[in-house]
Structure 1
């Protein structure tokens, strides 16, 4: 079974995104970039992270059998800002592609790249990535991939995991749209996760790390107190919940509280509903 590895939040102004994240109490790694026209910054959490990105150069185009991470995010941002992609963990991107293909899913050739980054003590290190992409025709703006690393620990540096808002983990991600619950079988094939809760308007799959909630618009609005941000996209990544060790910092930010969540609305969250909830602890 896979777990949630990281979330991609795309915006047009990276510095504005960074400032907003810091205002909500997140610590952030220094600004960086990918070698195909993308600038980014990372919010490290326990076992996962948020990748904040903007398009700042030319990106490779999609081609037959090849999915372009850069082109997808560029085209997504031409529509709106928001939660563009969800990445799962993997130790073998190529094996995932083979498994998904055997299950009848739409897959693409693996995408390998590397980049050089600098650690806090000044060491230059090479980070390597192999990405496996998968898609569903009903959800063209639902970006899904599995990410294999060389030096995954670079994104788990303790000095950047101490957040003022006590953020710890990605508790859940929400795919919203009228047809979202119909993607349960597809998401099971992608992740290996089974449904642990199901109703007419909502299906929850529990991955190895974090839950995926497939929700119709009314169920999403009941959870976050706001409408789905991009109904024109079909089933899309509409919101997320961060599990926090304490909600004291969030309580002081004058955010609305819906159920157990303090909620940053999509109008303030760059096209994404961001919830903060008390960390769910295993018994």
Structure 2
């Protein structure tokens, strides 16, 4: 099993304001999209990863959590009731169905894979169609959910024009979690990432997941590779710390 950081889900109350904030930092932000159940997102796309700014839209019809079913929309809604911030850590998948079975066997999940599709919009305004299958895993002691994402039409999703950023950003390189007892999450993160780490998990296809000592009041931080003009810059936004490297 080989993995890379696929994307990070950043929950925000005001999606338009969040998109404007990231544009102000020199990122290219895509069009506003809506899922069938009512969450809405805008993406910041890099070479092989992306940031998903997400909120709950008007007239959302969010399904509840149920046995063997993880409700993506319900998790985002409940997360926003507590805080804004990095709500989900996502790795890539070539076979989400197989990953779901592996997670269940490892004892880190008991959820059915979740398939969904939606319409998208290219930078030129033309429509596109994207589809995904997700396999979820949960560690109740960490302030984020985890899943892997299989792209069914990657050629319709990835777009070179959306990957050009004025600040020179190229990829998400690292995500850091805070926990009172980092070592207690080693087993979960080994099973989720496929990496035999301790508190640092170097993914074979790109990116690092780390767990640092903390009290949980700042759930996560992440780093983005960029050119030297922003190297060392740290930005506090929506309950997370973003560091340019």
TM-score range, shorter chain: over 0.9
Which one of 221, 234, 239 corresponds to residue 263 of structure 1?
Answer: 234
Distance in 2 between the 1:31 and 1:126 partners? 14
Larger radius of gyration: 1
Distance in 1 between the 2:128 and 2:42 partners? 17
Q: Is the 8 A contact 2:39 2:54 kept in 1?
A: yes
Alpha-carbon offset, residue 151 of structure 1: 1.5
Cα shift readout 1:55-97 (whole Å, capped 9, x = no counterpart): 0123111011110000001000000100000111011111001
Cα shift readout 1:187-216 (whole Å, capped 9, x = no counterpart): 111111232xx6xxxx21101210001111
User: Which residue does 1:222 correspond to in 2?
Assistant: none
| Structure 1 stretches lacking a partner, 5+ long | 218-226, 231-235, 251-259, 278-283
1:23 counterpart = 2:24: yes
User: Which residue does 1:276 correspond to in 2?
Assistant: 244
Tell me the SS of whatever aligns to 1:247: coil
User: Which residue does 1:149 correspond to in 2?
Assistant: 151
Q: How does 1:1-283 map to 2 (within 5 A)?
A: 1-56=2-57, 57-121=60-124, 123-139=126-142, 141-195=143-197, 203-207=199-203, 208-217=205-214, 229-230=217-218, 236=219, 238-244=220-226, 246-248=227-229, 250=230, 261-265=232-236, 269-277=237-245
Distance in 1 between the 2:163 and 2:52 partners? 14
User: Which residue does 1:280 correspond to in 2?
Assistant: none
TM-score for the superposition, normalised by structure 2: 0.92
Q: Is the 8 A contact 1:117 1:126 kept in 2?
A: yes
Alpha-carbon offset, residue 247 of structure 1: 2.9
Distance in 2 between the 1:145 and 1:54 partners? 18
Alpha-carbon offset, residue 125 of structure 1: 2.9
Alpha-carbon offset, residue 115 of structure 1: 1.1
Distance in 1 between the 2:18 and 2:125 partners? 26
Alpha-carbon offset, residue 121 of structure 1: 4.8
Size of the aligned set, in residue pairs, is 241
Alpha-carbon offset, residue 144 of structure 1: 0.2
Q: Is the 8 A contact 2:37 2:73 kept in 1?
A: yes
TM-score for the superposition, normalised by structure 1: 0.80
Alpha-carbon offset, residue 117 of structure 1: 2.2
Q: CA RMSD in A?
A: 1.7
Q: Is the 8 A contact 1:107 1:135 kept in 2?
A: no
Distance in 1 between the 2:129 and 2:160 partners? 19
Tell me the SS of whatever aligns to 2:170: strand
| Structure 2 stretches lacking a partner, 5+ long | none
